[in-house]
Structure 1
Amino acid sequence: MKKEGVLIGLLFLLIFACSNTNQEEQIIEPTKNVVEKKVIIIGIDGCRPDALTAANTPNLDALIANGTYSLDARNTGITISGPGWTSMLTGVWENKHNVVDNTFNSYNYTAYPHLFKRIEDYNSDFKTVSVAQWHPINTKVVKSTADVIVNSEDSTLDTEKKAVNELTSNELTAMFIHFDDVDHAGHSTGFSLNNDNYINAIEKVDQSIGNVISALKNRENYDKEDWLVIVGTDHGGIANNHGGTTDEERTIFIIASGDNIPNKEIAKTTTQTTIPNSENCLNSNSELKFDADGSIEISDNVAHSFGTSQDFSIECRVKSDYAGDVHIVGKKNWDNGVLPGYIFSFKTNTQKFKVNVGDGTNRVDLESTVITDNEWHTVSATFDRDGMLKVYVDGVFFNETSMASIGNLNNNFPFSIGADGNNKYKFKGSVAEVRIFNTLLSDEDISDWKCKVLDNNHPKYDNLQGHWKLDEGTGSIITDSSSKSANGTLTGGNWADISNEVQVNVHNYDHTPRTVDAVITALNHLCIPIQDSWNLEGISLIETNCSKN
């Protein structure tokens, strides 16, 4: 009986021990998997969405496939880099941040700082890094808000290299990377999906973005991180420029990519409608249209060079809805207004028609009024070499300024229509009835002939140095009806029959993203509360449940 009692006691102790062990195991909780939210914003300067679609971009395509995106996003502000990047990185438009050009002179940094200041104010332990190929982003907008500021060399590869190096930091919370070579290619050779140089620049940036994303995924703690990758651009472009209000300049793209973001596209809607055609008082049966895709070159002719003292006048008919930094007619290299020559163009920030003359040392610019309503207008300018430069629109005098400081206008470029002497700064619109005189037209001359095809009844007909009616309707030879017989050669462009009505596509971008959406999207992902006092604009592209983090 004693042995049986001992055995029963031992069995009881064993059962108790096992039961106690099970209870201890049951109250042990597994370690919680804490995921850190992080964001990287990648900016590709001057990248048109249609060219992005045409290019071979497997890395950007992968980001699109793993997120929410729009190829119809809009920069509804000023379409140049200073205002564009400031709007994207502050979350407000230029009427608040006050950056209206690339000087950044009036930037309201105190009220509307860079995104990184919002992040650092929320948690000073959050590390922020800005890598920029265009250095004013760092020196003028980021300022001291980032923990690390890196100005790369002016190349895609060096920007990639420096960005990859910064991604090795485990403490990193937010990063901005700016690539500039696509914009360079647009300015030098044209913002167009048909331009191989522009497409190649996009493809090279895509390769670098692929290496950046690989470096991100190779981070030591990547499996414990929740990354939002935002990719966007500041503006598009047309011909060799931007800064205007065309769809080509305003339409941008934005991608918000991440493992927890739904894959969807936010697109514009398009309808077709019929509208009356603009009335042309010249009664032509056809018109020559340029879509920033052509030009007329008239071989260098002494009749179009006015030296240091020869007075002259120029007139033409214009129809356009695009007030970009373009060459309508003239004889000049438009890379710089100081360079010798003369030109009809637009002042991009005011959208007004303007005339420029330069002699290599001095320049004179004279504005008039807005004419980009897609209706025909006659623009005229008289150049009194020791007096005033005057500009007229539809036979009415608008403005004048002294041009007595301007010396020799001569250069080796041809007189050209639709693009400058280097076949750049291409015009978008229609041109007709181009005339050059080696004398000053009077107010009466200009008013009486503002809407007539010039003939030998004109009081200054004997002073005619060139007259291109642009009414051929077909072919590439543009006839000079003056005695100079300086015929031109048309490249590109399109002859269109004139009808009473035309069909146009009407695009509705009301529900597509905007430049300013990037900041709110980033803050939303990082679960940083947005204060009403910040007065931010834009809408978040993503939804996130921050209560679970």
Structure 2
Amino acid sequence: MKNKYSTLCYQFKQLLNTTLCCTALGMSSASLASTHSLLIAVDGLRGDGIENANTPHLDTLINGTWAAGYKAAFAHYAQTMTDAAPNSGPNHVGIMTGVTAKKSGVTGNGNVAGGNYSTYPHYLTLLEQSNSSLNTAYLVTWGTDMQITNTADLKIDANDAVNTQNAVNIIKGTYSASNWPQGTDIDALFIFLDDVDGAGHACCFTASDDGYVNEINDVDSQIGQLLAAIKARPNFTHEDWQIVVTSDHGGRGSSHGIHAADNYTIPFLVTSKVAKQGYLSGIPRNYDAAPTVLAHHGLAVPANMDGTVQGQNIRQENDKGIDHGLTTYLPFNSNYEDASGNHTHAQVGGGSPELRANGKFGTYVKINGKKEHLTLGKPSELDFGTDTDFTLMTWYRVSGDQVGDPVIVGNKNWVSGANRGTLLLANEGNGDDFGINIASSRSDRKDIDPIDYTFNGWWLLVASFDRQGVATLYAGSPSGELNIIAGDISNVGDINSELDWNIGQDGTGRYHYNLKADLDDFAVWRRAITLSEVRAIYNNGHGSELLSLMNASH
């Protein structure tokens, strides 16, 4: 209908329909909320991209302070699909259709046009099929996306800046085209922004690259323009908006497409009046976007979709202090005693590690790479079994590359990563990369890596394990960048190896590669600590001693 009426007739029809509906219900037109959605996909935005950029507009969405009545569920550890390489083609299709490559048939950038869009339609197509009077717009900045079949009323392929302005005009009602009369009111708007991916390819998908971070700053500014346009709508207070933000992939170096955590880890955000405030539970995926938007518009999610509706299920927030669930805390203040109150003290397990002055906080332990290590033994507090959440933390410093792949802390026999147990590793790449390994058997082994690190400065390492969701590795650099990667560990079983928990060695205490590093403020929790808590410990690279945070919370 919207293509058959002049602007004046169209506006009159919209007003008449609203008035008749409200009269029938005994309501004023101002009291009738109208449903609108904005899905923003940012190409190449890593899960830690927002964390390390200047993003005031995204921050207001994430913090639930954007507008009265709106809350946000957020994940910086969301994941791409894993049945195709983390490239744009399959993941763009997944974001729009809610299915992975196995169903869509799109496995790369070269076969996007051949996707099975009849069986697994674009979410805008499903909205149009449910109600052809809905006004839907599809704005993309990568020409290949025009090959994804959909029946949106308006389709535009332009660059980021042009499409941002197009979207602003659409939201304001000032955009016009042959099939989009000026004054048309948008119901569902999709926009893909591409320049972050371009910046990553130009140098590096990393928080330490100014070009990449600056482009994220620019995208935040563009998103800010969209948010301002929404809030400036005359009836905004009576409207029911949903805003979803996600990405298609992360990256490593100047590329992506590698089956690894740094390529899989992306953000996912849903803001609405019914969303719950907090961190999303489980394993949010970028292909959750389509069902999430459909549900907002009141549609039943097709049973054949792989994605799930996000926004209601969030992690329980810790309001009991940073030491809640703390089971081991070794501040290394001239000894190896546990300051958590649980008496899980460390002992020298081999060699002669040294306690030295001038650590990150007071004294620290120096492990010299000559078979030195500490052992915590096998206390019940460190038995995490099949479903107990937990977190490992330490400050770490080295002066050069590691030899081999030594262990920072762990309880498995590292002769094979398929052995039962968990490890936080000092080299998962070329001598200077952090990583996590966890498994109960060969079939559920998970490797979450790498994060590259620098020498001669203190790095914060936190490995947080949500046993029904993801393991998240945080690595805070001395210069203020908080690197974040994550991976699905929901199917990992019993990780109690019956070996010791050792610091500087694997669970056997005899692994042939020995750690050579300085460690300070080591801790273990029987819960998965959150980004907010990691931020407090990291303190923008300055660091906060855990003991001081514990005292401040009581």
The TM-score bracket by the shorter chain reads 0.3 to 0.5
Structure (1 or 2) with the greater strand fraction? 1
Q: Which has the larger radius of gyration?
A: 1
Question: Which protein has greater RCO, CA pairs closer than 8 Å, 6+ apart?
Answer: 1
